[in-house]
Copies of this chain bind each other. A is one copy, B any other.
């Protein structure tokens, strides 16, 4: 396994500009599949609007299949999602009845210009590849040809025993601060210390963190080589101080959440729960624009029959409230407070942040220039 260097975090006080592609991606990396909307949110008749990675999308379901069009009529700019579905297989703009084929976005008719309108077939709205899978609607926002959706899914999602709970909410802040916060090893020891989740769990004072790669190369992983549960800080005293419940714990929450936290492109976090918890927490920080992201929390267990029932009970009575609301809302608070224009000063535990930045900067997917030219031209 590759090991990334520590010295990324040095020297303190250094300016940014060391990860130019990453810094340029304020509205998101586009050549990926993103989870846009839970299946249950998109009805059979209504259309929905969403902004993802700076793209305005019109989503609809037709005969059980999902279609996504650019959400702007080329005539006068009105959102197509306000339009009508009265013609099966088509979307009609609410303003002048321009009728588009949902499969390829072609302008099939402009109703008030009659059946022989010369504008028929001369214009298209852009379409985006979309799939419905695992209770979620996925959209490809890239200019290149889409990869198979499976390439952008954690492979354990494809296990038939996987039972998946999705929760999405739009939050202020840039998606990159949200990813960095998720993979950051050290903030959990401070920011989350007074969360309910940690009231009964023990967290260490500091660790020696190693950043590695998963065997398939897709995930960046942080692992603690050395864990120091409590330490004496000159001038401050012992830290942390444990409450009654924490003192009785033998196990230690080693990182910000657990002993194995992974991140992958485009903006996906995986937190394997420690010990015998037998479920895993995921997060997607889906970019909306440069100052908002669609925070996507996922809880997955692999269970069938009675075990699945018990898992669901546990999710609804405990995990949702303590973990998804109580714990992660502290993260939502700090993300928008970070100002990309101000200089930052990094320290040794930020090796997780800088490793992610380098990974994203260098290894994000990009379309071949020919494909991109071809695909964007076709849409205009």
Contact B190 A94 (CB under 8 A): yes
Which chain B residue lies CB-closest to A189? B112
Question: Count of A residues near B, CB < 8 Å?
Answer: 61
C-alpha gap A93/B113 in the complex (Å): 58
Q: Are A344 and B76 in contact (CB under 8 A)?
A: yes
Chain copies in the assembled complex: 3
Chain B residue nearest to A180 in the complex (CB): B76
Contact between chains at A79 and B112 (CB < 8 Å): no
For residue A19, CB closer than 8 A to chain B, the reply is: no
B113 touches A349 (CB 8 A): yes
Pair A119/B189 contact, Cβ less than 8 Å:
no
Which of A95, A207, A348 is most buried by chain B, counting CB atoms within 10 A of its CB? A95
CB-CB under 8 A from A95, the residues of chain B are: 187, 190-191, 334
**Contact yes or no, B345 A12, CB < 8 A:** no
Stretch at the interface among A139-147, A231-239, A258-266: A231-239
Interface residues of A in 231-263 (CB under 8 A from B): 231-237, 239
Q: In the complex, which residues 36-82 of chain A have their Cβ closer than 8 Å to any Cβ of chain B?
A: 72, 74-79
Interface: A346 (CB within 8 A) = yes
* Chain A contacts with B in 329-380, Cβ cutoff 8 A: 334, 337-339, 342, 344-349
Q: Are A189 and B342 in contact (CB under 8 A)?
A: no
- A-side residues, CB < 8 A to B, are 12-13, 72, 74-79, 87, 90, 92-99, 108-115, 117-119, 122-123, 185-187, 189-191, 205-207, 228, 231-237, 239, 334, 337-339, 342, 344-349
Q: Known pairs A112-B189, A113-B347, A114-B205; list 7 more (Cβ under 8 Å).
A: A72-B342, A76-B344, A94-B191, A96-B349, A109-B235, A111-B189, A111-B190
